[in-house]
Structure formats: C-alpha cells, structure tokens
Amino acid sequence: MKKTFLNLLKQPITNSYLTKIDKKTKSKEFFYNLQVVYDSKTHLVSLSKPVNPKMQFTDKYAHRASQSITMLKAFKKVSQNLKKRFKPNKTMEIGSNDGVFLKNFNKKEIIAVEPCLNLAMITKKMGYLTYPNFWTKSLAKKIFKKYKGIDLIYSANTICHIPNLKEVFDAVSFSLNSDGVFVFEDPYIGSVLKMNSYDQFYDEHVHLFSLLSISKLLKKSNLRIFDVQLLSTHGGSIRFYVCKKFSKFNCSKRVFKLKSKEIKFGLNKYKTYLMFAKRVKKSKKDLLKLLKNIKSKRKKIISYGASYKSATIYNYCNIGTDLIDYAIDTTKNKQGKFTPGKHIPIKAPNGGIKKNVDYAFLGAWNFIKEIKKKEKNFLRRGGKFICHVPKVKLIGL
C-alpha cells in the first residue's frame, strides 16, 4: 500500500531552463504537484505521479556529468575497480550522459544507451557506439541480436529516473550473461533522511532506493544483490552489485550488515518518513528566516550552482530574485538562461564569486569540498556559504 508522506508543492520540470521570461514563455511553463509516497509492501519511496519521461529527457538536456572534478575522479575509480574485479569483455552503460564513465574504456569494449539526443551525439562523436534510446525490453532485444550477452552493465544516476523498474530489471536480466554483473548507483534514501536533503526529490528522481526495496524488486526479475556499497557522491549514494539468481557470486557480509542497519534505522516504517517530512517543513522555515534576515541587512546573496536539486528548494520555499540575485554555474548551456519555476538568472562564474557578493547559497552542496577549494578568496574576504543540509547554517573559513 502506498502512503503519501511529503508534499513539496507545485514544481516545474527541472531540466526546463528558460531562455527568456516573457509573458508567453511563463504561461507555457509546465508544473505538477510533487508528492512523495512510501510503499509498505516493497519499501520503495517514489513520486506519487511521475512526469512523462519524453518531456524530461529531450534533445536539450542540460546536465553534464563531467562538470565536477569530484565526479570525473569517481567515474575513473569505479571503472578501474570494475575492470579489475569482473574482467568484462563486453560492457554496456545505461544513461551515458556526456561520456564521463565511457571515456575510461576502450571504444570497442563498451556500448552506451542514452535517450537525450544531444548527449548521445557527444559520445557518438567521441567514437562510442551509442543507442539514442530509453532502456526498454525491446531495446535490450535489439542489442542482444547484435552483441549476444553482456558481461557488465553499469549505470549511475539513471535507474532511479525510470518509472517502470520491472521493465528495467527484466531487460537487464535478459541481456546479462549467466555470470554477468549489473552495477548501478543512485542517491540513497538513508542519506536523504539523515542529511534532510529533501532537494533529492524532483521530477527526475522518480524513486529513491534502499537495499530493502531493491532486494525485493529484483527478485521479480530473477536477479539478486551480491554486494553493496554506500558512497559519498551526490551527498550519499548507494551502489548495488547484482547478478542472476543462480549465478556464481556469493552474497557479501556487507549486504546482511546494511539490511539490519536499514531496519534499525526504520527504512521499513512509514513513521520514519513522516518524521522526515516534519524536519523538511522546519528546514524551509529556517532557510527563509535566514535569507530574509540577511537581505534586510542589504547584503547580496547568489546561488552557487543552478543544480536540478536546487529547483526543488526554490519552488518549495518560494525563493526568487527577491532573495537571490542570480546563480552561477559552470555548465555552458545553462548560462544566460533562467532557473525553472522561480526564474533566477544564471551566469558564468568567470573566475569565481564576484567581490560584491556577501553570501552564496550552495545549490551544489554535494560538491562543497571542491567549491570551498575553488572559492578560497571569497571565504578569505569574509564571504559565507549558506547550506540547508543537514541543518540550515552558514559556512565560513
């Protein structure tokens, strides 16, 4: 049974950065109600009504995974580890974005699946065979005809974007060799509850996974988890190592340990999620109080990173240009545009935070270490970051 625990109000599609904000463009902007549910049967946390993926993963997809040094390093490390541990001959990536993972592989060893046409074009130009499609059973059949079974399927920050998980897992099960491995990682619901990072809920994050929920769902597709890892990336992610039901892999102790930890933490109880929802309401109140207080002193606040996540905060808390002057972002195709819903202008950082800025809200709080290193001068002159996780606070030198 699915029960709603969180209402994040009217939200736009996070990838819909506006090129202008005249009356016509504003009237065409699409909004939906962002409500989050807990399924007591599967323990899965999902959006109550996912948006149509064709409206999200278009040929104008803005996010580029290669924008942060942290992620470049993380993808290099995981590709090296996977090659060493599983020695795959044939690898496939689902959701290859701008090739941040692919580029660690020889062009003949890996194929890619990426539904956003503009991104698929990037990796095609790099020389990687890329299917510009959504991951479905019919695509899996098409690929199987040509390549037969796959040894390793990898996916980062993609599986949680797909509404129909049964179809995803069935297609994986169909494509894998008998001892093939499916490794995927996505933001972890345990970290979201701990960090109060409610901004991990937006149209693209249709589900937030736990070990408890994914173990249950995989069974229906004759798959099982044999290893698991908690990661620090994106403010707390979970990496699952999955194989076919009768494959050679023994289940690692880490799986049993994390399962009992999740039960102790209450990830299988509706009450846990209701308590989280209360903390979210308080976070909104605290953030608005802090921003309004700073603004009353005539100080300048900007946003650091026009992330998809930050759209949830701005729209839920009703934060617009009255509080935040503009956002800076290194992603070229976001620059010169406006954030979805609240229409905050996005600028290029051009060498970092400007001297007349007093505070920078961390829209990309998940890269705080990298950002603090880059913005030493801002901190040295007394500038402060505003962060909403785990509690609303100021961060200085």
Site membership for ligand DWN, residue 239 (CB under 6 A): no
| Burial bucket for residue 84 (CB in 10 Å: 0-12, 13-18, 19+) | exposed
Which of 331, 342, 343, 359: binder of ligand DWN (CB under 6 A)?
Answer: 331
Q: Is 130 in the site for ligand DWN (CB under 6 A)?
A: no
* Piece in contact with ligand DWN (CB under 6 A), picked from 5-13, 39-47, 218-226, 307-315: 307-315
Q: Which is nearer to ligand DWN, 319 or 364 (CB)?
A: 364
Residue 329 interacting with ligand DWN (CB under 6 A): yes
State in angstroms the smallest separation of the CB of 269 from ligand DWN: 27
Measured from the CB atom, the residue of 113 and 150 that comes closer to ligand DWN is 113
CA-closest candidate to residue 211, choices 230, 193, 192, 196: 230
Place of tokens 């949680």: 160
Q: Does 302 bind ligand DWN (CB under 6 A)?
A: no
Spatial separation of the C-alpha atoms in residues 361 and 384, rounded to whole Å? 9
Q: How far is the CB of 183 from ligand DWN (least distance, A)?
A: 16
358 near ligand DWN (CB under 6 A): no
Interface stretch with ligand DWN, choices 79-87, 316-324, 338-346, 367-375 (CB under 6 A): 367-375
Identify the residue among 130, 307, 312, 315 touching ligand DWN (CB under 6 A): 307
Shortest distance in whole angstroms from residue 85 CB to ligand DWN? 24
> Can you list the positions of beta strands (E) in the chain?
2-12, 31-39, 45-47, 91-94, 110-113, 129-131, 150-156, 176-187, 207-208, 223-231, 237-244, 301-304, 327-328, 346-347, 359-362, 384-387, 393-395
333 contributes a contact to ligand DWN by CB under 6 A: no
| Residue 204 found at the interface with ligand DWN (CB under 6 A) | yes
Give the whole-angstrom CA distance, residue 368 versus residue 195.
14
Q: How far is the CB of 3 from ligand DWN (least distance, A)?
A: 25
Whichever of 236 and 305 has its CB closer to ligand DWN, that residue is: 305
Does 305 help bind ligand DWN (rule: CB under 6 A)? yes
Helices (H), 126-252: 137-147, 165-175, 189-195, 211-219
User: Which of 68, 155, 213, 339 touches ligand DWN (CB under 6 A)?
Assistant: 68
Return the residue nearest ligand DWN (CB atom): 305
Partners of residue 184 on adjacent β-strands: 155, 240
Binding residue for ligand DWN (CB under 6 A) from 78, 195, 324, 371?
Answer: 371
Question: Could you give the CA distance from residue 188 to residue 160 in angstroms, rounded to a whole number?
Answer: 10
Binding to ligand DWN in span 142-181, by CB under 6 A: 157
Give me the sheet containing 31-39, strands edge to edge: 2-12, 31-39, 45-47, 207-208
Name which position in 13, 113, 212, 364 contacts ligand DWN (CB under 6 A). Answer: 364
Q: Is 309 in the site for ligand DWN (CB under 6 A)?
A: yes
List residues bridging with 39 in a β-sheet. 2
The residue whose two tokens read 């962002």 is: 34
Does residue 366 interact with ligand DWN by CB under 6 A?
yes
CB of 220 within 8 A of CB of 166? yes
Neighbours of 208 (CB within 10 A): 24
The pair of three-digit structure tokens given for residue 303, joined into one six-digit string: 């946003």
Per CB under 6 A, does 46 bind ligand DWN? no
Q: Token match 């200085």: residue?
A: 396
Select the span of 167-175, 213-221, 268-276, 365-373 touching ligand DWN (CB under 6 A): 365-373
Phi, psi of 180 (to 5 degrees): -75, 165
Select the residue interacting with ligand DWN from 38, 240, 367, 378 (CB under 6 A): 367
Q: How far is the CB of 365 from ligand DWN (least distance, A)?
A: 8
Residue type, 169: F
- CA separation, residue 81 to residues 177, 183, 184, 250 (Å): 20, 12, 14, 18
Q: Which residues bind ligand DWN (CB under 6 A)?
A: 63, 67-68, 157, 204, 234, 305-309, 329-331, 364, 366-367, 370-371, 374
